[in-house]
Structure formats: C-alpha cells, structure tokens
Amino acid sequence: MSRVGVLLLNLGGPEQLEDVRPFLFNLFSDPEIIRLPFPWLQKPLAWLISTLRFQKSQENYKEIGGGSPLRSITEQQALAIEKQLEEKGLTAQTYIGMRYWHPFTEEALTRIKRDQIERLVILPLYPQYSISTSGSSFRLLDQLWQKDPELQNTDYTVIPSWYQRPGYIQAMAELIAQELDNCPNSEQVHIFFSAHGVPVSYVEEAGDPYQAEIEDCVDKIMKALNRSNSHTLAYQSRVGPVEWLKPYTEEAIQELASDGVKDLLVVPISFVSEHIETLQEIDMEYREVAEEAGISNFYRVPALNTHPVFINDLADLVVEALDAPTRLFSDAIQMKKIIKMYPQEKWQWGLTTTAEVWNGRLAMLGFMALLLELITGYGPLHLAGLL
C-alpha cells in the first residue's frame, strides 16, 4: 500500500511574547497580505509594521496567557483526524504546515520527504478559500514543489475549500443551538456571524471568491439551524487605510445596539480554532464595544476545535480526496475562479480604482515612516532640520 499523508495548512501564531515581532514580520512579508507595486518594498514595510505594532500585539497576547493556542489546537486536530482515519480503515500520517510560524510549511515538507510519503492530501484549515489564506499557502507550496525534485515524486491532491461540507455545517449549527439553548429568551438572541475580512480589491479586482463563499456558508448554517432568530454577517480584523469588506464588526454591533438589540450571540465563522481573534478580539474588544453600546448580554459560540462531527467530516473529506484525480495547486485554485494570485498587482496611472487603492497604501507608508521618525528621532526630516 502507498504511504499516505495529510498536510494541514494553517496560519500559525506566536507561542510566547518574544515570538510576536518575528511572527508579524513574516505575516506582513507575504505579498498576499499586503500587495505592493514594487516587490523590494515588501520586507522594509514588514519591518516597519512589525516594529510599530509588536508591543501592542504583545499586550493582546498577554491578555490570553502570553501566546497563541493555535499550534496546540491544530496538533490536537491532526491527531484526531489521524485516529478517525484509522477507524475508517486508512493508515495515514498527519503533518502541520504553518504559514508564518513554527512548524513552518517547509518543516512539514522535510518530514513528508523523510517519511517517504507517496500520496498526499493537502487540506487547509480554512473552510472558505481566500487569496490571503489558502491561496498564500498554495503559492508557497507551488514554489517549493517546483524547486525540489524529490517532492515531485509525491502525488498530491489539493482541497481548495470545504465550507459546504455537511459535517462542517452540522457541527456549526449544533454549537450555535447549544449556546442558544443556554440563553434566557433564546428566540430574542441576534446571531452575529463575524468573519475575518479581506480588502475589497481582492474580491472586486483579483476575483477572490471569499466573500461569496462566506455568504453562502452563513446561509447554509442558518438553514441547518432552523431557528427564527435574526442574523447578521460582518467582517473583523482589518488593517491599514484601504477599504475592506463591510460591514465592519464593531460598526455592525453598534448599529444593532442602536436598533434595540440586547442579546447578541457572536459566531466566529471563518475560524475553526480558538486563537487571538476569537479569545481577545471578539471576547474582549468586541464585548466591550457591545456593552458600551447598550447590549446587555454578549455570548459567543466556541470554535470547532476537535468537535467530533467536524473531525469525522474532515476525515471523510480526506478519504474522498484520495479517490479523486490528482490536482495541481493552480488547478485547485481555478476550480473556483480565475484568481490573480501572482504576479502582484500592477501599478496603473490615472483616476482608476487601482490608483485610489495605491494612493491609500502609499499614504499609509508615508504616515508610518513619519511616525517611526518621531519615535526614534532619526530620519530625513531630522537631518533636514524640519523636526
């Protein structure tokens, strides 16, 4: 029998406070997170952002115990999938490839080669596809695969997204129903889906299917839930001055409060593991926004983590993928749409949408450079005697 492996892809997160700055540098060095017209600007910008942001980020991580639990939870998910596959009669080894922190994707591929895996299923732990999540990992894997003749001997199948899976939908509906049943006057609770945002340009200019998949996912979960509760979808975690998908989570919460909503149940729709954006951003920052706006009862649905229905469905997905024809990374991406992952966006002159986007980005760079000079006391304005 062939040696079978399952590569789980995820974001990664700093495990201790000293990891925060290099983690942020890795994150913002990725052109699929912040797209620049000139590639040589990527690492200087990443250095600048990580320098300006890491102390505030460290404070956020301190509030949840000093580090991200994402690696630990992903390891638990990997072991649970492996065990579930064994119960289905399939012996497979699971591997974890994080995009921005240990264990990096490169580390996972080293282990895959060491174990002489012959058939590999590549499964991102992002239910919905986006350029900035699964797409970024696929781009990196494609580059690594092309450079390594040993990897080219491994047959692989890529799963681009799986938000429509019945087990995933059922597990999400079950978690929501459990929280609703624990709420007094559960029929009055407003269900609030909060997804990680992406820039509007990714959807409108690059063809990212993320927004459409998120909206379809919410519709499927609400149908499976089969409750009369009203619901809202909003987007969190935006960065920089460019326009991101709307409505923004904090603004949507305030608007619901002004409409008289008193009971809010937040559902982290694009996250399958607890991490900084659920434990700190939702549980602390958005809870404070809600309470200050007048919402009396703020509840939150836990992330799926190792929910048995969810894990069983992922194991079924792996089995089904092994029976499917081998898919290349580029083929997997284009199963949804033709998506401009790379090369990066081109500069356009004139009064165009792209020009407006880049004006905002360049303004952000200029502002950050000024802020850094004010903080450090060094730079061209000081040399010129203007500061």
Residue with tokens 């706006």: 293
Pairing of β 263-268 and β 297-300 = parallel
pLDDT score of 374 = 56
pLDDT score of 319 = 96
Tell me which range, 29-43, 88-102, 147-161, 360-374, is most confidently predicted by mean pLDDT: 88-102
Q: Which DSSP string do the residues of 260-293 spell out, in sequence order? A: T--EEEEEETT-SS--HIIIIIIIIIIHHHHHHH
C-alpha distances in Å from residue 188, one per residue of 95, 194, 264, 267, 316: 43, 19, 9, 16, 36
Q: Are 176 and 191 in contact (CB under 8 A)?
A: yes
pLDDT score of 335 = 38
The stretch 7-32 carries a mean pLDDT of 96
Position 336 pLDDT exceeds 90:
no
As a whole number of angstroms, the distance between CA 47 and CA 81 comes to: 37
C-alpha distances in Å from residue 304, one per residue of 105, 170, 236, 300: 23, 11, 19, 12
The stretch 290-319 carries a mean pLDDT of 98
pLDDT score of 238 = 87
Position 17 pLDDT exceeds 60:
yes
pLDDT score of 38 = 82
CB atoms within 10 A of CB 316: 16
Domains in the chain (CATH in brackets) are 4-163+307-333 (3.40.50.1400), 166-300 (3.40.50.1400), 357-384 (no CATH)
Q: What does residue 93 show for φ and ψ, rounded to 5 degrees?
A: -105, 130
pLDDT score of 358 = 47
Q: Are 51 and 372 in contact (CB under 8 A)?
A: yes
Position 357 pLDDT exceeds 80:
no
pLDDT tier, 379 (very low <50, low <70, confident <90, very high otherwise): low
CB atoms within 10 A of CB 115: 12
- Binding annotation: 196, 277
pLDDT tier, 323 (very low <50, low <70, confident <90, very high otherwise): confident
DSSP-assigned beta bridge partners for residue 9: 97, 124
- Binding annotation for Fe(2+): 196, 277
The stretch 288-299 carries a mean pLDDT of 98
Position 298 pLDDT exceeds 80:
yes
pLDDT score of 380 = 56
**Residue range 114-133, pLDDT digits in tens:** 999 999 999 999 999 999 99
pLDDT tier, 170 (very low <50, low <70, confident <90, very high otherwise): very high
pLDDT tier, 355 (very low <50, low <70, confident <90, very high otherwise): very low
pLDDT score of 387 = 53
Position 280 pLDDT exceeds 90:
yes
pLDDT score of 146 = 92
Q: What share of the chain has pLDDT > 90, as a percent?
A: 78
pLDDT score of 101 = 97
